[in-house]
Chains A and B, each alone.
Chain A
Amino acid sequence: MSFVKGLKCRECTREYAIEPIYVCEYCFGPLEVVYDYDGIKKVLTKKKIESRPQNLWRYKELLPIDKEPTSGLYSGFTPLVKAEKLARHLGLKELYVKDDTVTHPTLSFKDRVVAIALSKAREFGFDTVACASTGNLAHSVSAHGAAGGFKRYIFIPATLERSKIIASLAYEPNLIAVDGNYDDVNRLCSEVANKYNWAFVNINIRPFYAEGSKTQGYEIVEQLGWRVPDAVVVPCASGSLMTKIWKSFKEMKQLGLIEDTNTKVFAAQATGCSPIVKAIKDGVDVIKPVKPDTIAKSLAIGNPADGFYATQIIKESGGFGADVSDDEIVDAIKLLAATEGIFSETAGGVTLASAIKLIESGRIAKDDVTVLSITGNGLKTKEAIVGRTVEPYHIDPNLKSFEQILNKIKNR
């Protein structure tokens, strides 16, 4: 039984039936799924959610599918790690890491959105799935698509590093390397999507796909014991994850699962690509596109589609934003690994480094219960810290050689 009523334009509120469409025909605004919350409220309780298997489909009434899910059956419900050592280091009373570095099966939060996108693609009757990506999304669509028996077309810029391509190739998709930059890939895909009857997860399936990000917010609330944090720090590329986390808190309040949504929402970006944070700092609503230059490539969107909505949420919630240098990103990746044993990709470094700045400036108070949204695994962007880690000790294969080194280590 489905609680989805239809699609609605966020800009001009024109309504549409449930179909694989993604922009308002009239004003080109993004379409969003509309639910029957009164109906959901009657059937969805904390007890019911808690009784279900530990994956993101435990919130299925709040996800835009009509039948039982067919993709991502093991995705989501990642650990909410109580980060006591890191909290002490930062002088915070209570700090948590929402650890999507271990999302099944491809180790990033994109498995959440792809789980919904491919379940929906199946309902629509598509036999082919596609996406434009350079990293996490390519991995996720390749993997979920393989498991679901879909034909897969993954579009990437040809200039991408070989190491990043390998992880997608393992799943044997049709990988299309486009001779051009990211914007060229993007534009080509919109033309391909118009011509071929494929499920482009981040184009014509986008309104459904994007809803998957809400599950990170539901899990944070449930894992905190059905309460929202005082502060949440979210990395921003398009700004979509932030808008969906905020939406998830509001929905849970509307359903009576929590009482308040008094969370301050903070945006984290790399200085080399920070159009959202710049707008927040300047106090304006207009997002001025930039040309990205940062090691945090998974966040390098110079023209963020949900940027406007992200700034509105920050204003509404009393949050703020911070941007950080490439060096600060690397230091934060290492700090998270050394204190909590969690190795995140560059986006995670952006989140932690930004949180540090927000704590230092007093935007996040020492007694705020704070959650860091860590979205992807460091094994995907190892090159970011090459030459910036400690070095191994080289020894001869005998005890004497080992003990010489051990002495050095102990006396360091």
Chain B
Amino acid sequence: MAVKVKIPVPLQRLTQGKEEVEGDPGTIISLIEGLDKKYPGLSERISEGGKLRRFVNLYVNEEDVRFMKNEDTEVKDGDEVSIVPAIAGGCILG
């Protein structure tokens, strides 16, 4: 078991085309930094200076990490993390 991480299309070039990769439990930011060792370049696309980039949404088991502890949100074995570029909103309900 590990943490499953879903990779959006624009980042799949860094994961050799894989839509889903596996990472280690811990905080969200440690998970991302861990993945960066296997898939160099991934971390800087998602975060900057240890913080998540403004236009990247991260979900743990479908819940936005900003409803939890942001980059410090804990993830454990079996959790599913989705990385979703923010679609500029505005019209989704409009």
The digit string for B55-89, where 1 denotes a CB below 8 A from any CB of A, is 11100000010110000000000000000111111
A159 part of interface (Cβ distance < 8 Å): no
Interfacial chain B residues near A306, Cβ < 8 Å: 88-90
A300-335 with Cβ < 8 A to chain B: 300-301, 303-306, 308
A148 part of interface (Cβ distance < 8 Å): no
- Cα A305 to Cα B92 in complex, Å, equals 11
Chain B: interface residue total (CB-CB under 8 A): 22
Interfacial chain B residues near A30, Cβ < 8 Å: 55, 88
Pick from A134, A137, A202, A305 the residue with the most CB of B within 10 Å: A305
B93 part of interface (Cβ distance < 8 Å): yes
Residues B93 and A210 in contact, CB atoms below 8 Å apart? no
Stretch at the interface among A41-49, A183-191, A222-230: A183-191
B94 part of interface (Cβ distance < 8 Å): yes
Interfacial chain B residues near A301, Cβ < 8 Å: 89-90, 92-94
Residues A289 and B67 in contact, CB atoms below 8 Å apart? yes
- Cα A239 to Cα B54 in complex, Å, equals 15
Interfacial chain A residues near B10, Cβ < 8 Å: 23, 25, 28
User: CB < 8 Å: which of A28, A131, A303 contacts B85?
Assistant: A28
A112-140 with Cβ < 8 A to chain B: 113, 131-137
User: CB < 8 Å: which of B84, B86, B88, B91 contacts A131?
Assistant: B91
B2 part of interface (Cβ distance < 8 Å): no
- Cα A11 to Cα B86 in complex, Å, equals 13
B37 part of interface (Cβ distance < 8 Å): no
Residues A28 and B91 in contact, CB atoms below 8 Å apart? no
- Cα A237 to Cα B53 in complex, Å, equals 21
- Give the secondary structure class of B's interface: loop
Nearest-CB residue, chain A, relative to B48: A27
B21 part of interface (Cβ distance < 8 Å): no
- Cα A356 to Cα B88 in complex, Å, equals 30
Interfacial chain B residues near A135, Cβ < 8 Å: 93-94
Interfacial chain B residues near A206, Cβ < 8 Å: 88
Interfacial chain A residues near B88, Cβ < 8 Å: 22-23, 30, 202, 206, 210, 238, 240, 305-306
- Cα A307 to Cα B75 in complex, Å, equals 28
Chain A: interface residue total (CB-CB under 8 A): 48
Interfacial chain A residues near B55, Cβ < 8 Å: 11, 23, 27-30, 305
The digit string for A155-168, where 1 denotes a CB below 8 A from any CB of B, is 00000000000000
Q: Tell me, rounded to whole Å, the shortest Cβ–Cβ distance linking A286 to chain B.
A: 9
Residues A210 and B94 in contact, CB atoms below 8 Å apart? no
Residues B92 and A133 in contact, CB atoms below 8 Å apart? yes
Nearest-CB residue, chain B, relative to A376: B94
- Cα A179 to Cα B45 in complex, Å, equals 32
Given A237-B90, A305-B90; A27-B84 close (CB under 8 Å): no
Nearest-CB residue, chain A, relative to B83: A28
Q: Tell me, rounded to whole Å, the shortest Cβ–Cβ distance linking B39 to chain A.
A: 16
A175-233 with Cβ < 8 A to chain B: 182, 185-187, 189-190, 194, 201-203, 206, 209-210
Q: Tell me, rounded to whole Å, the shortest Cβ–Cβ distance linking B19 to chain A.
A: 11
Q: Can you name 5 A-B residue pairings with CB atoms under 8 Å?
A: A28-B10, A29-B54, A110-B91, A202-B92, A210-B90
Which A positions have Cβ atoms within 8 angstroms of B?
A: 11, 22-23, 25-30, 110, 113, 131-137, 182, 185-187, 189-190, 194, 201-203, 206, 209-210, 237-241, 288-289, 297-301, 303-306, 308
Q: Add 4 more A-B contacts to A28-B56, A303-B86 (CB < 8 A).
A: A110-B91, A113-B91, A133-B94, A238-B89
